[in-house]
């Protein structure tokens, strides 16, 4: 007896609700952009410059007391947040203190860090500082540029690759789907105000990689079926292709999600936002390969004659099956 | 049609065996690490019985390459420094001045008297008393220029000379600046490397990044502050002629003079000539020692050129003081008692033993040619790294078990084949990482976990295809064969696109992100290899032995 998440002979009509799903995708994208514009992203120091100090203590974290202790130092904008993790015991309490970039210096001066550490030690003598990170405004500006460039370069490279391997309609469909995934990921980061840093960009690129993987598998089958079913309507051939690959889509997304959820729960808090982004992206990416990429290809239409240029033209035996 | 030639079988299994063998040391990480350290120590410091025992922890005939742990896993400090390359221009100009001055003075008839009017900076500006002598002055200045010695700067001279009215301006040309900048960065890299190595930490990363930046990562060091203290001091040692001594920091000075404080006596200042007699670059050795009163001191020795300059100067200036200057502070200003011909000397001051040792190290390593500004600094404590490793390990194991169970439940025996391939796959990733000496970071672990999830994809594609083909094809043998054949294009296209992403991540990312790109990229290569070759070989071998009439996938 085998575990079957999807029956072998599914025959779902994925276009039945095309308007609804496509509409929902558009609405979700608009909402994401709105969330991005209105709430903004919670940029980490990678992109904004500044300093973060991770604190760890046996006593519970008293955010208000920390803030009061740092008030006299006049460091401008200070954000303090407590960190929770299931693996922390009773005697482990961690917090993240974030200080804005200071005027006139690139990375933070040792005096500033020493002053902050001293102030916090007076509140809580058992406090330790497992990590201190500081990024100057000069570098953070460049990092934003690099990040933007990386996402753009990936989309461009995929556009070209799919175009070469398939048709331009396919490559446009794939890139629209990827764009959809990226926007939705940025949207959820804005909505939940999760820290958005360099690792998040890596996560977004991974999502692009995963989602294109999924899309390509379906396209590959579609190409095969288009050659096989020359007269069937495009819509039917597409449905057939998705149904045929559905079992694989669910299996692969399933195993990847299992691995990621294990990492999300047990992997510690340091990489949680990174893993969260990828997990979210896998879900969105799987959805977009089935519902977004295909719809775009259907709207655009596609070349139906996939037979190779005929080398035997003029030969009396040519074109027997056309 | 399911036949796989023997040579190919042997090749596949040998590749797997080599990969796993390379990965093996990582399973005994601390043991191999101690053994490697002991071997390195025997190499440099000679063998002792303890070191031999330590080295014997891991047999020498086995591979001993380990995956380096990144800073976020091991703890340590990370600095991104920008080299202020412009600092060097001023020194170059100062070095040129005596030569230019002498050449112009020799031509006094044509150009009249001259005066340098700039205040340091990256140009020399000279005012001529006789503006009509400008063409002659330009000619003299141009005569001092040398061809630039780089590939890109072919045919260009190292000086830009311009005359405007009675002012002659000389600065470094574009090509020479580019060449100088490059030299400055290389020199800084080398000096930072030497200083970090003096402390003897494990596997520091010291890399040039972009035009004028240097990335320094040192695992195991307590904090970025310590690292900065180690490399951030310029330790620019010079010996300058003393002009006067006063209590006034703003003592009147010409552009050719500088005022530096005396280190041990606040409020005392020396006016010195800007151009030193000898500088730290001409030192060949510096050692901590003690002076005749038993106070800690540093002895030093010059190279022949330095020794000659120092000897000549001391012979000509017996009875007048000269200053020993370290990083714009006068350490001491002794009076020259006699001609010092040998090129060696001693620096005394109120040093502690630690200070004299540190100073000797810095002098020996050489001075940084230019100042560093730190753009980025990160300290990660070792406990945090340890926590991350533990969490990562648990997550990996849980992810593994779940995925294995899921595959087995879904595909039965074929699932077991895929699972064996998956285990081999992770082994191969570690083998490759150890082989190329890559660094494993926390996102890198995430990359491996993600690969675990995605590595089954290629197998799933094949198995699903075999299932479909079983419905139509004649016999299981044909179905298996067709399954592999038809799934190939999807596997290749899907993995190439992901590989493109990994490449872009690698090129544009740095640090942890790059670590992630490396594991993701290698994971794609190994997962395609294991799915297309290893699993297939297992399936075919099993099929050949059993010859089942029907198969269930």
- Extents of the domains making up chain A: 18-41+139-300, 50-135
Q: What is the pTM of this model?
A: 0.76
Residue A258 tokens read as: 């299992």
C-alpha B295/C-alpha B297 separation (Å) is 6
Would you say residue A308 has pLDDT above 60? no
CA of A37 vs chain B CAs: smallest distance (Å):
26
- SS3 assignment, position A88: coil
State which fold the B236-357 domain adopts: Gyrase A; domain 2 (3.30.1360)
Interchain contact, B409 vs A3, CB within 8 Å: yes
Q: Alpha-carbon torsion B376, B379, B385, B388, what sign?
A: negative
φ/ψ of B173, rounded to 5, equals: -75, 165
User: What band does A35 get if pLDDT is binned at 50, 70 and 90?
Assistant: very high
- Give the pLDDT confidence score for residue B415 in this predicted structure: 92
> By CA distance, what is A114's nearest residue in B?
B225
**Of A136, A146, A205, Cβ closest to residue B376:** A136
Q: Alpha-carbon torsion A259, A263, A264, A265, what sign?
A: positive
Q: Which residue has the tokens 């360099």?
A: A198
φ/ψ of B28, rounded to 5, equals: -120, 55
Contact status of A134 with chain B (Cβ, < 8 Å): yes
Would you say residue A312 has pLDDT above 70? no
CB A51 within 8 A of CB A137: no
Closest CA to B287 of B300, B305, B302: B300
Residues of chain B contacting A3 with CB distance shorter than 8 Å: 406, 409-410
Preferred mutation among A251, A253, A279 to probe B, highest tally of B CBs within 10 A: A251
Over residues A59-79, the pLDDT tens digits come to 888 888 888 888 888 888 888
Burial environment of residue A292 by CB neighbours within 10 A (0 to 12, 13 to 18, 19 or more): buried
DSSP state of B212: T
> By CA distance, what is A268's nearest residue in B?
B391
Q: With a CB-CB cutoff of 8 Å, which residues 23-42 of chain A face chain B?
A: none
CA of B182 vs chain A CAs: smallest distance (Å):
21
Interchain contact, A130 vs B381, CB within 8 Å: yes
Residues of chain A contacting B228 with CB distance shorter than 8 Å: 110
Interchain contact, A202 vs B517, CB within 8 Å: yes
Contact status of A79 with chain B (Cβ, < 8 Å): no
Q: Alpha-carbon torsion A13, A17, A22, A25, what sign?
A: negative
**Of B392, B449, B498, Cβ closest to residue A259:** B449
Residue B75 tokens read as: 């703890």
Residues of chain B contacting A274 with CB distance shorter than 8 Å: 443, 446
DSSP state of A100: P
CB B313 within 8 A of CB B277: yes
Contact status of B504 with chain A (Cβ, < 8 Å): yes
Over residues B229-253, the pLDDT tens digits come to 777 666 677 888 888 888 777 766 6
DSSP state of B157: B
Per DSSP, helices labelled H in B46-122 are 49-55, 71-74, 87-106, 108-111
C-alpha A281/C-alpha A201 separation (Å) is 12
The CATH architecture one would assign to domain A18-41+139-300 is: Up-down Bundle (1.20)
Would you say residue B45 has pLDDT above 60? yes
Residues of chain A contacting B496 with CB distance shorter than 8 Å: 161
Would you say residue A113 has pLDDT above 50? yes
> Among A186-190, B269-273, B323-327, where is mean pLDDT lowest?
B323-327
For chain B, the structural domain boundaries read 6-23+384-546, 87-175, 236-357
Q: Which of A78-92, B172-186, B298-312, B425-439 has the highest mean pLDDT?
A: B425-439
- Give the pLDDT confidence score for residue A1 in this predicted structure: 60
**Which one is predicted more confidently, B322 or A53?**
A53
Over residues A201-250, the pLDDT tens digits come to 888 888 888 888 888 899 999 988 988 888 888 888 988 999 988 888 88
> By CA distance, what is A252's nearest residue in B?
B457
Would you say residue B153 has pLDDT above 60? no
Q: Which residue has the tokens 């958005």?
A: A196
Contact status of B394 with chain A (Cβ, < 8 Å): yes
- Give the pLDDT confidence score for residue B155 in this predicted structure: 67
Contact status of B211 with chain A (Cβ, < 8 Å): no
> By CA distance, what is A164's nearest residue in B?
B493
- Does the domain spanning A50-135 belong to CATH 3.30.1490.100? no
C-alpha A145/C-alpha A201 separation (Å) is 12
Beta bridge partners of residue B262, listed in sequence order: B330
Taking only Cα atoms into account, the Rg of chain B, rounded to an integer number of angstroms, comes to 34
Provide ipTM, 2 decimals.
Answer: 0.81
Measured CA distances, B194 to A241, B38, B76, B200, B285 (Å): 62, 22, 18, 10, 14
How much is the mean pLDDT over chain B? 83
Would you say residue B127 has pLDDT above 90? no
Would you say residue B1 has pLDDT above 70? no
Interchain contact, B394 vs A266, CB within 8 Å: yes
- SS3 assignment, position B60: coil
User: What band does A313 get if pLDDT is binned at 50, 70 and 90?
Assistant: very low
- Give the pLDDT confidence score for residue A42 in this predicted structure: 87
Q: Alpha-carbon torsion B509, B511, B513, B514, what sign?
A: positive
Q: Alpha-carbon torsion A299, A300, A306, A312, what sign?
A: positive
Interchain contact, A267 vs B392, CB within 8 Å: yes
Contact status of B384 with chain A (Cβ, < 8 Å): yes
Closest CA to B495 of A210, A115, A131, A121: A210
- Give the pLDDT confidence score for residue A305 in this predicted structure: 63
Query: The CATH number of B87-175 is which of 1.10.10, 3.30.870, 3.90.1070, 3.30.1300?
Result: 3.90.1070
Residue B528 tokens read as: 């395609």
User: What band does B22 get if pLDDT is binned at 50, 70 and 90?
Assistant: very high
**Which one is predicted more confidently, A64 or B335?**
A64
φ/ψ of A175, rounded to 5, equals: -70, -35
% of chain A with per-residue pLDDT over 90: 17
CATH class as words, domain B6-23+384-546: mainly alpha
- Give the pLDDT confidence score for residue B249 in this predicted structure: 74
Would you say residue A177 has pLDDT above 80? yes
Over residues B340-368, the pLDDT tens digits come to 777 787 877 777 877 777 777 767 767 77
> By CA distance, what is A113's nearest residue in B?
B225
Residues of chain A contacting B513 with CB distance shorter than 8 Å: 198-199, 201-202
**Which one is predicted more confidently, B526 or B123?**
B526
- SS3 assignment, position A187: helix
- Give the pLDDT confidence score for residue B417 in this predicted structure: 93
């Amino acid at each position: 007896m085998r575990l079957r998440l999807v029956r072998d002979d599914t025959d779902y009509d994925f276009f039945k609700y095309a308007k609804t799903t496509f509409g929902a995708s558009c609405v979700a994208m608009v909402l994401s952009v709105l969330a991005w514009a209105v709430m903004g992203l919670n940029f980490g120091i990678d992109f904004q410059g500044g300093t973060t100090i991770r604190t760890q203590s046996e006593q519970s974290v008293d955010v208000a007391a920390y803030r009061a202790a740092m008030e006299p130092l006049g460091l401008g904008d200070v954000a303090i947040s407590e960190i929770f993790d299931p693996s922390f015991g009773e005697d482990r309490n961690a917090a993240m203190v974030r200080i804005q970039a200071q005027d006139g210096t690139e990375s933070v001066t040792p005096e500033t860090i020493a002053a902050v550490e001293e102030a916090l030690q007076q509140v809580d003598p058992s406090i330790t500082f497992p990590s201190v990170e500081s990024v100057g405004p000069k570098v953070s500006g460049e990092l934003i540029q690099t990040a933007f460039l990386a996402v753009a370069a990936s989309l461009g490279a995929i556009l070209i690759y799919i175009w070469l391997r398939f048709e331009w309609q396919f490559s446009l469909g794939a890139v629209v789907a990827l764009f959809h995934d990226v926007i939705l990921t940025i949207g959820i980061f804005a909505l939940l105000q999760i820290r958005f840093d360099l690792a998040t960009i890596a996560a977004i690129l991974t999502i692009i990689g995963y989602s294109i993987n999924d899309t390509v598998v379906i396209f590959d089958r579609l190409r095969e079926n288009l050659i096989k079913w020359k007269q069937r309507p495009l819509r039917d051939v597409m449905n057939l292709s998705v149904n045929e690959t559905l079992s694989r889509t669910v299996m692969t997304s399933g195993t990847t999600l299992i691995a990621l959820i294990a990492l999300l729960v047990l992997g510690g808090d340091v990489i949680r936002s990174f893993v969260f982004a990828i997990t979210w992206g896998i879900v969105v990416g799987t959805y977009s390969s089935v519902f977004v990429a295909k719809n775009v290809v259907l709207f655009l239409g596609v070349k139906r004659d996939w037979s190779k240029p005929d080398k035997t033209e003029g030969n009396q035996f040519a074109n027997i099956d056309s | 049609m399911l036949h796989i030639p023997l040579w190919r079988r042997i090749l596949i299994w040998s590749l797997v065996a080599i990969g796993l063998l390379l990965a093996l040391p990582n399973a005994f990480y601390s043991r191999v690490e101690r053994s490697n350290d002991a071997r390195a120590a025997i190499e440099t410091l000679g063998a002792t019985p303890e070191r031999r025992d330590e080295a014997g922890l891991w047999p020498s005939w086995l591979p001993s390459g380990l995956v380096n742990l990144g800073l976020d896993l091991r703890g340590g400090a990370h600095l991104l420094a920008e080299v202020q390359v412009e600092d060097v221009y001023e020194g170059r100009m100062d070095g040129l001045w005596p030569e230019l001055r002498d050449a112009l003075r020799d031509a006094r008839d044509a150009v009249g008297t001259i005066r340098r009017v700039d205040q340091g900076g990256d140009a020399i500006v000279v005012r001529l008393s006789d503006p009509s002598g400008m063409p002659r002055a330009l000619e003299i200045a141009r005569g001092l220029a040398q061809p630039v010695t780089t590939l890109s700067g072919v045919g260009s001279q190292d000086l830009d000379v311009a005359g405007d009215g009675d002012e002659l301006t000389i600065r470094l040309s574009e090509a020479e600046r580019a060449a100088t900048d490059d030299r400055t960065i290389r020199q800084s890299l080398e000096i930072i490397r030497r200083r970090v190595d003096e402390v003897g930490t494990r596997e520091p990363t010291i890399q040039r990044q972009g035009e004028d930046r240097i990335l320094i990562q040192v695992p195991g060091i307590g904090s970025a502050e310590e690292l900065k203290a180690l490399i951030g001091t310029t330790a620019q040692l010079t010996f300058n002629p003393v002009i006067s001594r006063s209590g006034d920091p703003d003592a009147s000075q010409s552009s050719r003079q500088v005022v530096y404080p005396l280190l041990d006596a606040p409020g005392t200042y020396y006016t010195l000539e800007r151009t030193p007699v000898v500088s730290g670059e001409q030192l060949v050795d510096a050692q901590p020692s003690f002076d005749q009163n038993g106070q800690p001191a540093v002895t030093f020795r010059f190279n022949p050129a330095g020794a000659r300059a120092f000897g000549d100067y001391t012979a000509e200036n017996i009875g007048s003081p000269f200053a020993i200057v370290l990083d714009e502070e006068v350490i001491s200003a002794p009076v020259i008692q006699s001609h010092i011909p040998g090129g060696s000397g001693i620096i005394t001051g109120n040093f502690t033993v630690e200070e004299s040792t540190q100073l000797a190290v810095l002098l020996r390593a050489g001075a940084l040619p230019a100042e560093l500004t730190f753009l980025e600094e990160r300290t990660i404590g070792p406990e945090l790294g340890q926590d991350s490793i533990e969490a990562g390990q648990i997550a990996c194991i849980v992810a593994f078990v779940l995925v294995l169970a899921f595959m087995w439940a879904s595909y039965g025996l074929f699932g077991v084949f895929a699972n064996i391939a998956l285990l081999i796959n992770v082994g191969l990733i570690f083998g490759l990482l150890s082989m190329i000496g890559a660094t494993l970071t926390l996102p890198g672990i995430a990359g491996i976990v993600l690969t675990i999830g995605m590595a089954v994809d290629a197998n799933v594609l094949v198995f699903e295809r075999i299932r479909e083909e079983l419905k139509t094809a004649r016999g299981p043998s044909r179905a298996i064969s067709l399954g592999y054949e038809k799934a190939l294009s999807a596997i290749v296209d899907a993995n190439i696109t992901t590989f493109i992403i990994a490449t872009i991540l690698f090129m544009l990312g740095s640090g942890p992100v790059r670590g992630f790109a490396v594991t993701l990229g290698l994971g794609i290569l190994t997962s395609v290899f294991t799915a297309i070759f290893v699993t297939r070989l297992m399936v075919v071998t099993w099929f050949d032995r059993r010859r089942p009439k029907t198969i269930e996938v």
